[in-house]
Each structure stands twice: as structure tokens, then as C-alpha cells.
Chains A and B, each alone.
Chain A
Amino acid sequence: MVCLDMLLANDEEEVVVNVIKLKNIKIKMGCLFMKSDSEIILKISALTKSVQLEDKTLELLQPIDLTVNSGETLAIVGSSGSGKTTLLSILAGLDLPTSGEVYLKNHPLHQFNEEQRSQVRANHVGFIFQQFLLISSLTALENVMLPAELANLPDAKELGLALLEQVGLAERAEHYPSQLSGGEQQRVAIARAFITKPDVLFADEPTGNLDTKTGIHIADLLFELNEKLDTTLILVTHDPKLAMRCQRQVEMDSGVLQEKYTQTKSTNEFIADMKVG
């Protein structure tokens, strides 16, 4: 039932996605035609996760099905301890499910070993963490360059500088993370996340460690870049306002995932926005 809902939603969004891609002059031949399933970027089915404790088995995730389309922004909300981070880490290929299937860009992550999943992450995935997780002995620029180098992109430095420029930290390129404020560190982390133009960007509480104002600023930046680079964004958050900015929300409750809200009005508005831009 949930699946059906999602499929319905997808058709409408496909248009938006393709238009945005055109805007960025990033032409993908397949996008010019209406294809209902080619742009599914993430698909999980019957996914469960449990951990074995000393005396009992803890079911962290009940069987979950979810499909995410390319260019979609999805918020995962839910109370603390409900399993959001657990789900996210499986989606991103950091962890393996106990059962079920995960396809990211058609790669069967659940069948992949650590190395193969690394490869997928390097090529398709970006991350933003609550604790920023910048490498303390590398400069801001070098932190940003890191994923580009891992994906063997040429011109990592130029790309890095351009992105730092976009997050407004061009002057701080040579500074170490410890010389930056929390908000600035998170901006560096955002630049780092976007440098490979990832297909999917995962963010776990990206504003959780920041004050409200900075949080909003960071969120602006995140959505702005997301839109510009046409990335699929999967966001875990407690913040309802942040969640509202996503086109779609799902809610976790004790390991059970439920579709919560899907933006439908957006198509026209987006096209209007586009014209202004």
C-alpha cells in the first residue's frame, strides 16, 4: 500500500526533476523521455535490522519498503531511538541489513562486501554528519577535496575552492577545522558532501549541533546546493521546520516506517522559481 502511494507521487515529480536537470544543463538522454522507473535511485524492500544482545535479539527495524527517486528530497523524522540513524547507515551502505534488499543506483548493497560498498559510496554518495567529522589535521580545503580525490576526479583543488566559495568560506581555505566555528565547520562539511556531485546525499541531523539561526542558514545552503546540483537528499532530523522543506517525509516509530507527507503543489512553483532564476 505504501508502495502504491509512492509510485503515484513519483510520476508527478519526475517532471520537476527533469526540468531542474535541464536548468543545470546537465543533459541525460534518458530524462528527455518519460520513464516511470529508470530514475529510481534508492530502493529497499523487506529490510530488517536486528542486533543480538547477550540474552535477547533486539529488532531495530521492522520490515521496511521504500523507494526514492532521483532528485527527491526526503526527510526521515521520528522520536529518539526509533531507528532513524540505523536506517540511514544501511541506506548509505555503511551497515548491512539483517535481511531484505537495498539497491542504490541499482547496486545491490546488501550483497556487497565492505570494499564494494566503499566503491559505491565514493562514486555515488555524499555525507553530512551531526558532528561535522572533519579531519582535524587537514585544512578546510583539503577536507573538501577528500571525496573528489577518493573518486579520482581531476581538478580536485579547483572544485574544492569553487565549492568553498559557494559556501562563503573561500578565505578560510587554509584554516584547520579547530580554527572554525561550528557553523563554519558544517559549511565545510556541506562543501565536502557536494564536491563529487553525488547522486544521493545523506545528512543525519545536519543542524542538530547548531543554534537555530545558524541552523537555518546551513539548511538554506544545503537546499540551495542540492537544487543547483540536482542531488537526491535524504535527511534525518528532529526539526519539523527542516523536515517541511523536504518534498516528502517519512516517519520512523519503533523501527516501523510510515509515509507521512508528500508535497504535491510544488510543480508549478518550482517552474516559476526557475524562470526567476
Chain B
Amino acid sequence: MSELTVKSSPAWFKQSLRLLHHEFRRGELTIIFLAIVLAVGTVFSLTGFTEQIKQAIMSNSANTIAADRVFGANRKIPVEFLEKSEDLSLKLASKILIDSMVFAGDNMLLSELDAVSDSYPLRGKFMGKTSLSQTPVSIETIKRGTAWVEESVLARLDVKIGGTVEVGVLPLTIAGVITEIPDRSYRMFVAGPAIFLNIEDIADTDLIQPGSRVYYQYLFAGEQDNVETFEKWLKPQLNDTQNWYDAKSAQSRLSNVLDRSEKFLSLASMLGIVLAAVAVAVASRRYGQRHQPMVAVFKALGASKSHVQKLYMLHWGLLSLISICVGLVVGYLLMLVGVSAIENYLSLDESQLSFNPFFTAIITGVLCAVAFAIHPITELISTKPLDVIRGFSQNVLPKFGWHQLIPLLALFALLMLFSRDLMMSLSLLLGGILVSVILLFLGRLIMGAGRTAGSKAGKSWHLALANLKRRANENSVQLVSFTIAIQLLLLITVMKSSIIEEWQSQFPENTPNHYLLNITADEVQPLKAFAEELNIDNQGFYSIFLGRLSAINNEKTISIEDDSANNERDTADKDENKEEKPKGRKGAGRELSLTWQSQLPIENEIVEGKWWQEHDDTPQVSMESGMAERLEVKLGDKLTFTIGSDEFTVPVTSIRDVNWKSRQLNFIMIFNQTAIKNIESTSISAWMVPDEKKKQVYRFLSDYPTISIMDFGSIMKQLMNMIDQVSIAIELILVLVILAGSLVLVAQVQASMEERERELAILRTLGAKGSLLRNSVLFEFIALGGVAGLMASIAMEIAVYFLQTQVFEMTASFHFSYWLVGIGAGAAFVGIMGMLSCWRLLNLSSVTLIRRTM
């Protein structure tokens, strides 16, 4: 009977495929399928997404600095530096960078002007095209009187190639569109699109005035030895406003900028991955339990162990394979969504997607499928045929043993794989275990207390809480996952809104919405008159000049690590400085915008000393309190400032608190007039221009083309737009986390389904009414969700505190309103999901129920 040969494929193969087919159709594999899809999709999309960003930044064109070394400063380079470089026969190119408004007809645009010498670039490709359809060619020189622009300039100014842009007072003909900038790394987070012009033209624009924000770059290239000699010679002579870059330091500067946002993204997504992994673990345990009777029957009918083994290996393998493939597709689509959100800010090259996201995601899928399933499936395969007679051990809580180590190790490997950060992975894992243990303990405590309370709260509640208590073991597991899910959701929501809030709080209503920069001395009077005529609220005109705090009490200052220096260009070289560890006083680390005033500006408050009398002839300075504290400057200390080639020393006669959150013009150092008598400066003013007067103001200002206008309204709009789009990326992760959380929940409910079925059957037979049963199930879930929400809120608060203070360097805040959200949403969500999953069960007639469970 048995020796007959098999026609085609072996029986286990056919049976396995058949099972897979039917179970997929009947939705029995949906949860485990979704869990793996989610894990793979999450990892793929996030890895791909961050990789795309990194690639945009670190790509070859961004790596180069168009030279071997670059000197950068707010002032021109000392002549001896240039002489030395000539001695070493280094090639030189120079570049001047200015943020400025440019005009074309009625349109204006904040752009970054790059005025370059003919020798630019020394390294890398500078490419462009003279008609939009042409293939890009190398731009050799920029002819005087012409400009090369980034493509977005054309649309935003509504001009064509061959048209005219006004840069300062100088009209320039647009010669073509730039397609590749060799030192693009500088261009990553700038005010606007680039406009390149010849450096000889810059003087004619009238944009460079004393006090203007101008950045000079000198690019050097040559024989490596010579470059290194030059570097050795030059570096010790740099002061703290002069920067020196090579390709590597330019890169690390950029990655520093990205670090913060990346930390947030990867933290959130790691938590998402943990949840997805938990869902896989729960679902595969259920998978094992659900298949137990099947295996027992198979074995009773004579299937050998190897038959069952092969059958399930194939079944699980195919299931994982399908899930992983779908996960890759889903992940790819999600990545596209994320990428499209930030496309406007970074030029991404999708074709460059590397093998890495695929690799990471596939490994994730395999790891999840193997590590979390190996125990349930080995248990499943070793099911005894006798079980068909003696019944199945349902919902036995996993005992502690070696097999528990495997999922933990896998989780750790997953986190490592994703983050490549040992500390972060380890602390997340250990923290997670610790938190779980605490939650388990707390949860039991709360559920125990709840039962006593529930006994006074009516039959349904009584039954619900008794059930909760009875299923304490299993519920604790559910509780931990609900708690983690809810906590993550809260955490991300709170963090997101607090980041956005912090941004928004910097732009309150009814404060100046326009800054006017670069106002020359002759222009101040007509502007004042105009502002008065139109009744425009302004904070007066401040003269402004850039200067360096070079000594405190005659002790030279050195630049130290300076977190508050927002100006990226100034912070690049800190590594080098750290290495050398020069001795001296802590300095400001950058050039400061200085001004003089006779009156104390509004939103300023003297905390020490006294503001000067209007006609006090002794030179003196008032210093902002935060900076004073940081530099350990006290009242009466003598500060030496270097402005260009001038140097002067003044005593500190007052220390002020400044409200930095206001959009007033704020200054760290304010002199009295006698202190800065002979220093050339331009002025700056902050205007509150109502919308209806905007046109008039712009028309008037177009007569003064060298004045830069910063319209905060539109910058704000741009910024909000950017936040919106960036938060799409964050929301993407939020959605993934919510999905993973719900999946954990559904998987958990499903896992407890058989037991619930049995209990309901018993209660029904004992005569319990349908409404009582429904309510008790509902209340059980509500109580579970509520408790999870409460614990999640507490956990969230702790986590937010650490994140805000340790990771994001923000001020800590508390969020009691989110507690209500957490508890309410937890109760509602778990209640609804639980009811939905049990709905079918609750509506079964008692006869069916009893029959099904016997």
C-alpha cells in the first residue's frame, strides 16, 4: 500500500501550498503577514529615506569644496596669507557670498549671491546650460554683466534665460541655468537659490557696505605637499572668526546639522521597529497555537515528524517570503512619500538608491520570521499526536528559558542593524526590558486595586475586572504592549508639537514683520520720513557694525565650542581648535553685530549696573546677561573689541536681560555713542508693515536697491510650509508606529480568542444575558486600555523630559492635557479594537458557541 511511487511533487509540498492558499484566503494569516510587512516596510522606508538625505549631502559633488582647502571669513584675507600661497605656487580662486534680495520687474526673491573669480572652480565641475533643453556643459567663466542662476530662480522671478535680474543697483543678463555647483555642500541650508556673478561686478552692485553681512572665501589648490605646508603655516595664525576647511570638515559640519533631526527620526523608527517585532512575536505565537490541532491530526493520521517539519518550513518560509516581498514594495512606496516631502529642500537622486535599504529590510524580515517564530514552530512541530485525544495546552504563558533569549538577541541585532549605534541599541533594549518589568508589576497592582473598586460598580464592571484579574498574566503582556504603543504615540505627538511650538513661539503676532538691512547713513533720513508719513510702527534705526570681542581685561579671547553660534560658517573649524587647546579667555567665538544706543531698547531690562545718561562722554558698553554669564564677565570688566583694523577698550557698565523670543532687534553688545565715534556703519530697522501698505513700502524701497528687505511674513510662510513638509516625514513614522501598535493589539486579542470563546460559552450556558456579556467584554478592554493609557502617560512624561533635556536641548515641559488624551484614547482605542475583534464572538448564539468549543 505504501510502496507506491509519487507522481509529481511530494505530499508535504502540495499540502503546504494548499494550506497556505486557503489560510491566506480565509484571512487566518493576515496578522502575521501584516506584522512582517510592517517590520520590513518600516525598515526599508526609513533606511532608504535617511540614505537618500545623506546621499544628497554626502554625494561626490557635495563632498568637494571646489578646491583643496578653503579659507573663509567675514572679512578679506590678510595679504600675507595670499603672498605665502603664491610662494608655494598654489592656485587661488575667490568667492564672495551675500544673502540679498534680487528683483525682476515687480518680483523679488531672497537669494544667495555667489560672486566668483574667473579661476573658480579649482576642483570639481561647475556645469550649466544656456537653454533649458540643452545638455549641460562646463561653465568656464562668468562674463561681466551676466549671471548664472539656479533653475528655480527663473520661475520665482518669472524671467527667462536672456532676461534681466537686478542685483543691488546692477542689472545683470541671465546667461544660463546652473546644473551642478562643485561646492554645493555650502548650499544646503541657505536663504534661497544661488545666483552666480563675476566677482568684478560685485562692487557695482553697491551691496557691500560697512556692516553688511558678507562672507569671503578663498579657495586654494595645488601640490599636496605645498597645500600641507601652507596649512601648517597658516593654521596657527587663524583667529576665531577665520575658518579653514578641507573636504572632510565641510562634510562633518553638514552632518552635525543633520544629526538632531536624524536622531529623532531614528529613535522614533527604532521604536516602531520594536513594535512591529512585538507584533510578529505575538502573531507567531498565535500561529503556533492555532496550528497545534492541525499538527496533532496530521500526526495521528500517520504523518512523520519530517513530513510535518518540511510542511511547516515551506509554509512559514513562503509566508515570510511573500510578506518580505510585499514589505519591500510597501517600504519603497512609503519612502517615495517621504522623499517627495523633502524634495524641495534637497536635490535627491533616486536612481542612486543603494543596496543597503534592501539588505537591511530583508535581514529584518528574515530575522523577525526566524527568531520570533523558531520557538513557536519547534513547539508546534513537536506536538504529540496523543493531543488529539487529550486536548491542547492553550495559552500557556511562555516559560523563561533559552528560547526567550533568541528574540531578545534578534531585537538587539535589529536595532544594531538599523541604527549602527551600540549605545543607543543597548540602552533601548535594556531600558525596554526594565520598563516592561516595571509595567508588569505596576499593571498587576492597578488591576488588583481595580477589582476591589469594580466590585462596587455593577455586574458588568465586576465581571470585567474579575476577568482582567484572572487573565493577569496574559493581560500583563498585553498591557505592556499597549502601554508601549500608546506611549510612543504620545511621545511622538508631544515631541512634534513641542518642536513646532518652539519654532512658532519665535514669531508672535503684532511684532515687526520686516527687517531692513544695509541702510547707508544718507538713506536713514528719507526712510524715517517715509515711515512717519505712512504711520508705520518701527523700532528706530540702529547702526550696525561687525566686530570681534578680542580681549577681556586684556586677556586674549580664544574661540571655544559654541553651541549658540547658529551661523554654520563660523563653527566649522572647531575640531582643529579643540586639538590645539590654546590658553586664553573664553570668547564669543564669532563676530558680533554691534550697535550703539542712547536709550535702553524695549524688551530689554537692566539686571546689573545702570544705563548711561544721554550725554555721558565716557565710552562704555552694556552686555546681554546670558553671554556675560557664559564668558564670566562682570560689571566693570574691560572689553576689547576689534573692528576691522580698529581696536578699542570699554568697561561694562550694565548687564541686560533680553527677550530673545521677541522679534525686536536684539543686540548682545550695545555701546554708547562716544565709544564708537569713528566707526563706519550701516543701519538696520525693524518695521511692522500691515498687508495693505506692503505695496507702497516695496515701491518706495525699490528706489533704494541696496537696502535688503527681509519679509518675515513670507519667510515665516516658507518656514511653516517647510515644517509641514518635514512633518510629513515624521507623520509617516507616526502612522507606522500606530499601525504597529494596533497590530500588536489585534494580535493579542486574537491570541486570547479561544479562551474567551470558551469562557463566553460557559457564561452563556450558565444563563448570562447577552448585554451583560457584551458590556463585560467592552469594559474589560476599556479598563485595559485606560490603565495602559495612564501608564503610558507617565512613561511618556519621563521620556519627554529626558529627550527634551538630553537629546534636543530644549527646555523641559509637562503635558497634563496629553494624559487625558492618553487615557481616553487608550480606553477608546483598545475598547473599540477589542469589541471589533470579539464582535463575531459575542453575537454567536449560545448553541454555536457551546458546540464550537466542546
Beta-carbon nearest neighbor of B1 in chain A: A123
Query: B854 contacts A152, CB within 8 Å?
Result: no
Number of interface residues of B (CB under 8 A): 36
Encode A128-155 as 1/0 by CB contact (under 8 A) with B.
0101011101110010001101111110
A125–B298 alpha-carbon span in the complex (Å): 13
Query: A115 contacts B304, CB within 8 Å?
Result: yes
Interface centre among B23, B299, B300, B854 (most CB of A within 10 A): B300
Q: List A contacts of B11 (CB < 8 A).
A: 149-150, 152
Check if B820 is an interface residue, CB within 8 A of chain A.
Answer: no
Q: How far is the CB of B391 from chain A (nearest CB, A)?
A: 9
Encode B388-416 as 1/0 by CB contact (under 8 A) with A.
11000000000000000000000000000
Check if A182 is an interface residue, CB within 8 A of chain B.
Answer: yes
Check if B297 is an interface residue, CB within 8 A of chain A.
Answer: yes
Beta-carbon nearest neighbor of B301 in chain A: A147
Query: A182 contacts B851, CB within 8 Å?
Result: yes
Query: B4 contacts A127, CB within 8 Å?
Result: no
Encode B70-112 as 1/0 by CB contact (under 8 A) with A.
0000000000000000000000000000000000000000000
Query: B303 contacts A118, CB within 8 Å?
Result: yes
Q: A154-B4, A154-B7 are in contact. Are A118 and B19 (CB under 8 A)?
A: no
- Cβ < 8 Å to B, chain A residues 59-110: 85, 88-89, 92, 94-95
Query: A150 contacts B386, CB within 8 Å?
Result: no
Encode A177-199 as 1/0 by CB contact (under 8 A) with B.
00000100000000010001100
Query: A94 contacts B19, CB within 8 Å?
Result: no
- Pick from A118, A120, A204: contact of B389, CB under 8 Å: A204
Check if B305 is an interface residue, CB within 8 A of chain A.
Answer: yes
Check if A176 is an interface residue, CB within 8 A of chain B.
Answer: yes
Q: List A contacts of B5 (CB < 8 A).
A: 152, 154
**Main secondary structure on chain B at its contact with chain A?**
helix
Beta-carbon nearest neighbor of A208 in chain B: B854
Check if A15 is an interface residue, CB within 8 A of chain B.
Answer: no
Query: B298 contacts A131, CB within 8 Å?
Result: no
Q: List A contacts of B7 (CB < 8 A).
A: 154
Q: A85-B389, A150-B11, A209-B854 are in contact. Are A122 and B303 (CB under 8 A)?
A: yes
Query: A196 contacts B388, CB within 8 Å?
Result: no
Q: List A contacts of B23 (CB < 8 A).
A: 137
- Pick from A88, A122, A149: contact of B2, CB under 8 Å: A122
Q: List B contacts of A192 (CB < 8 A).
A: 301
A209–B851 alpha-carbon span in the complex (Å): 9
A120–B300 alpha-carbon span in the complex (Å): 10
Check if B293 is an interface residue, CB within 8 A of chain A.
Answer: yes
Query: B26 contacts A137, CB within 8 Å?
Result: yes
Query: B22 contacts A120, CB within 8 Å?
Result: no
A45–B297 alpha-carbon span in the complex (Å): 28
Query: A152 contacts B385, CB within 8 Å?
Result: no
Q: How far is the CB of B632 from chain A (nearest CB, A)?
A: 75
A127–B4 alpha-carbon span in the complex (Å): 22
Query: A121 contacts B389, CB within 8 Å?
Result: no
Query: A127 contacts B854, CB within 8 Å?
Result: no
Encode B20-48 as 1/0 by CB contact (under 8 A) with A.
00110010100000000000000000000
Encode B606-624 as 1/0 by CB contact (under 8 A) with A.
0000000000000000000
Query: A133 contacts B4, CB within 8 Å?
Result: no
A154–B14 alpha-carbon span in the complex (Å): 13
Q: How far is the CB of B701 from chain A (nearest CB, A)?
A: 76
Q: List A contacts of B298 (CB < 8 A).
A: 146, 150
Check if B302 is an interface residue, CB within 8 A of chain A.
Answer: yes
Q: A94-B386, A115-B305, A196-B1 are in contact. Are A135 and B26 (CB under 8 A)?
A: no
- Pick from B297, B384, B854: contact of A133, CB under 8 Å: B297
Query: B304 contacts A119, CB within 8 Å?
Result: yes
A88–B389 alpha-carbon span in the complex (Å): 10
Encode B175-206 as 1/0 by CB contact (under 8 A) with A.
00000000000000000000000000000000
A135–B297 alpha-carbon span in the complex (Å): 8
Q: List A contacts of B471 (CB < 8 A).
A: none
A150–B305 alpha-carbon span in the complex (Å): 12
Q: A125-B302, A133-B297, A152-B4 are in contact. Are A139 and B389 (CB under 8 A)?
A: no
Q: List B contacts of A224 (CB < 8 A).
A: none
Query: B302 contacts A142, CB within 8 Å?
Result: no
Q: How far is the CB of B270 from chain A (nearest CB, A)?
A: 36
- Pick from A92, A149, A176, A197: contact of B26, CB under 8 Å: A176
Check if B6 is an interface residue, CB within 8 A of chain A.
Answer: yes
Q: List B contacts of A137 (CB < 8 A).
A: 19, 22-23, 26, 28, 294
Q: A118-B385, A127-B301 are in contact. Are A142 and B18 (CB under 8 A)?
A: yes
Q: A131-B854, A135-B297, A137-B28 are in contact. Are A151 and B305 (CB under 8 A)?
A: no
Check if B662 is an interface residue, CB within 8 A of chain A.
Answer: no
Q: How far is the CB of A223 from chain B (nearest CB, A)?
A: 22
Check if B496 is an interface residue, CB within 8 A of chain A.
Answer: no
Check if B307 is an interface residue, CB within 8 A of chain A.
Answer: yes
- Cβ < 8 Å to B, chain A residues 192-244: 192, 196-197, 204, 209
Q: How far is the CB of A49 from chain B (nearest CB, A)?
A: 12
Q: How far is the CB of A36 from chain B (nearest CB, A)?
A: 25
Check if A114 is an interface residue, CB within 8 A of chain B.
Answer: yes
A246–B386 alpha-carbon span in the complex (Å): 26
Query: A118 contacts B304, CB within 8 Å?
Result: yes
Query: A94 contacts B4, CB within 8 Å?
Result: no
Query: A150 contacts B389, CB within 8 Å?
Result: no
Query: B22 contacts A133, CB within 8 Å?
Result: no
Query: A133 contacts B307, CB within 8 Å?
Result: no
Q: A123-B1, A152-B2, A204-B389 are in contact. Are A118 and B18 (CB under 8 A)?
A: no
Q: List B contacts of A119 (CB < 8 A).
A: 2, 302, 304
Q: A121-B302, A125-B302, A150-B302 are in contact. Are A95 and B18 (CB under 8 A)?
A: no
Check if B604 is an interface residue, CB within 8 A of chain A.
Answer: no
A137–B2 alpha-carbon span in the complex (Å): 26
A94–B384 alpha-carbon span in the complex (Å): 8
- Pick from B15, B26, B28, B305: contact of A118, CB under 8 Å: B305
Q: List B contacts of A135 (CB < 8 A).
A: 293-294, 297
- Pick from A88, A139, A152, A204: contact of B22, CB under 8 Å: A139
A196–B304 alpha-carbon span in the complex (Å): 16
Q: How far is the CB of A11 from chain B (nearest CB, A)?
A: 28
Encode B140-177 as 1/0 by CB contact (under 8 A) with A.
00000000000000000000000000000000000000
Interface centre among A131, A150, A154 (most CB of B within 10 A): A150
Query: A94 contacts B389, CB within 8 Å?
Result: yes
Encode B764-799 as 1/0 by CB contact (under 8 A) with A.
000000000000000000000000000000000000
Q: List B contacts of A92 (CB < 8 A).
A: 300
Q: List B contacts of A151 (CB < 8 A).
A: 1-2, 302
A82–B6 alpha-carbon span in the complex (Å): 43
Q: List A contacts of B305 (CB < 8 A).
A: 114-115, 118
A151–B306 alpha-carbon span in the complex (Å): 14
Query: A121 contacts B2, CB within 8 Å?
Result: no
Q: List A contacts of B1 (CB < 8 A).
A: 123, 151, 153, 196-197
Query: B388 contacts A138, CB within 8 Å?
Result: no
Q: A137-B23, A151-B1 are in contact. Are A127 and B300 (CB under 8 A)?
A: yes
Query: A147 contacts B386, CB within 8 Å?
Result: no
A85–B386 alpha-carbon span in the complex (Å): 11
A178–B303 alpha-carbon span in the complex (Å): 24
A149–B306 alpha-carbon span in the complex (Å): 15
Query: A138 contacts B22, CB within 8 Å?
Result: yes
Closest CB pairs A-B (n = 9): A122-B302, A121-B302, A149-B11, A137-B22, A147-B301, A123-B2, A94-B386, A137-B23, A118-B304
Q: Could you list 22 examples of A-B contacts with CB < 8 Å?
A: A85-B389, A88-B389, A95-B386, A114-B385, A118-B385, A119-B302, A120-B302, A122-B301, A122-B302, A122-B304, A137-B19, A137-B294, A138-B22, A139-B22, A146-B298, A146-B301, A149-B15, A150-B298, A150-B307, A152-B5, A153-B4, A154-B7
Given A122-B304, A127-B388: 13 more A-B contacts, CB < 8 Å = A89-B389, A94-B388, A115-B306, A118-B304, A123-B1, A127-B300, A129-B388, A133-B388, A134-B297, A150-B11, A150-B307, A151-B1, A152-B2
